[in-house]
Structure 1
């Protein structure tokens, strides 16, 4: 199973530094184009396919083929700088963690349906593609598309919504052959899963929000369980992209799903992208990226 892994640059931790590239045979299928000014609300990262046509990373990259966050409510769903109430959002450095502790991204062509209760958690979905925590040794660049091996899954309950976190490893990681299921993570990376639960529980506390909760008392489920969840979210996405269910504010514009009522031509996609300001080379630092938070 392949994954879209747009690494969010809102955190500058040990996982974020000199960017390692994704496998050439996968990344060569997709290119990215920056528009707008970094560290601003108008920043966007658009995707192109091998033919140079603009595509949606949410809808046009096949799941079974190979929070900046995906702008699910915008045409072509570019990666953008996350913001709330007019203020840019950055991942807080909650001691002892600095930024993300994995490569953080999402599977394309999946959707956690906010109008449907999850049978495992009894909570509706969070209205996003399913998230992925990639635990390999290489640091990915924002917008990389890599091939991963699913190992397990954690059920985060985020403000009352189901927010699954898939645990996976890059198939080209030097140690990938040693990992087959979630128990291998426990054995070969002791403390990593516990740190993952702690990170996800606390990351919203610096913003004045309560600690996040988990289904199954924070227990990680195995690979088989994870694949069942991923397949279910893929089915939800297929229902949405064919306009067979309420999709709320999600923008379903796509270039490659010809039978979808939201399909657009490459020329229409180009017009959408060209309406966004071109990228500025100015890169401004932000104090929130470096600030530490110590919690009782």
Structure 2
């Protein structure tokens, strides 16, 4: 079990969300939460960054000590994704798999592009709207290979194992059969979500087709191996901050006292700014 500790003010650059484990210790959602909830059953831990139907672009801060969740900033402004008609905000619970890393120095032999320097992304398709910072256990159903400005950005499709319908979903074909149009909507969302910001549509490998569960799990294992090399200082870290409190043999391990000091440097949680007035507007654009 994990609980959140918020610092700063929501909708401002000061906001940070840290995680504590059941013992009350500060943990990095990037490095300290195990990838597998059950390796034998291929059940994974997922850190929820963005609850479904919300717009604030929250992400694990890979360049900060202990990697809190924060809101992305673009040109000095807090970043919110547009409601790209007919989609309201993010159309899944969106987050990341801990202890994974898409290596920006490695060219994927399947996509021909380097990694995006982040943990691998997850789209959780269950019925519950999760909360920011929640850690849930998911089973993987497939993956989509987004090519974002020349970088491979895998999108894992998964479902919470506690979802009332989880037993019905065991493959990407089950998603196609039981949630008709959802996979197509996901491709449409990822293709166009940056267009309102003036950027070109994103592209995809494999002719925009989803790969199956076994393929997705192999991608996850490869990114886990890349993370291991990173946190053990066997790969260049660049701007990535590998400070952690639980990876006992990592050279980046820090004490609980030092971890607490990192958090307590930040202002206590308080009332934040209001949402921009245009967050609930619809953006209408032509589908190519």
TM-score by length of 2: 0.91
Q: Once the 2 structures are TM-superposed, how far is the Cα of residue 291 of structure 1 from its aligned partner?
A: 2.2
Whether 1:240 aligns to 2:230 is yes
**Cα separation, 1, equivalents of 2:16 and 2:272:** 14
Whether 1:172 aligns to 2:162 is yes
Q: Once the 2 structures are TM-superposed, how far is the Cα of residue 246 of structure 1 from its aligned partner?
A: 1.1
The alignment yields a C-alpha RMSD, in angstroms, of 0.9
Please state whether the residue corresponding to 1:186 is helix, strand or coil: helix
**Cα separation, 1, equivalents of 2:243 and 2:272:** 30
Structure 2 match to 1:32: 4
Whether 1:227 aligns to 2:227 is no
**Cα separation, 2, equivalents of 1:85 and 1:261:** 35
Kept in 2: contact 1:257–1:263 (CA 8 A): yes
**Cα separation, 1, equivalents of 2:74 and 2:244:** 26
Whether 1:152 aligns to 2:124 is no
Q: Which is further off, 277-286 or 108-117?
A: 277-286
**Cα separation, 2, equivalents of 1:184 and 1:242:** 38
Structure 1 match to 2:79: 89
* Structure 1 moving runs of 4+ over 6 Å: none
**Cα separation, 2, equivalents of 1:123 and 1:114:** 9
Q: How does 1:252-263 map to 2 (within 5 A)?
A: 252-263=242-253
Q: Once the 2 structures are TM-superposed, how far is the Cα of residue 150 of structure 1 from its aligned partner?
A: 0.2
Match of 1:57 among 17, 25, 29: 29
**Cα separation, 2, equivalents of 1:252 and 1:288:** 37
Aligned residue pair count: 268
Structure 1 match to 2:264: 274
Pick the structure with more strand per residue: 2
TM-score by length of 1: 0.89
Q: Once the 2 structures are TM-superposed, how far is the Cα of residue 182 of structure 1 from its aligned partner?
A: 0.5
Kept in 1: contact 2:10–2:273 (CA 8 A): yes
**Cα separation, 2, equivalents of 1:287 and 1:243:** 45
Match of 2:88 among 92, 98, 107: 98
Kept in 2: contact 1:113–1:236 (CA 8 A): yes
Structure 1 match to 2:130: 140
Structure 2 match to 1:195: 185
Structure 1 match to 2:54: none
Kept in 2: contact 1:90–1:288 (CA 8 A): no
Please state whether the residue corresponding to 2:147 is helix, strand or coil: strand
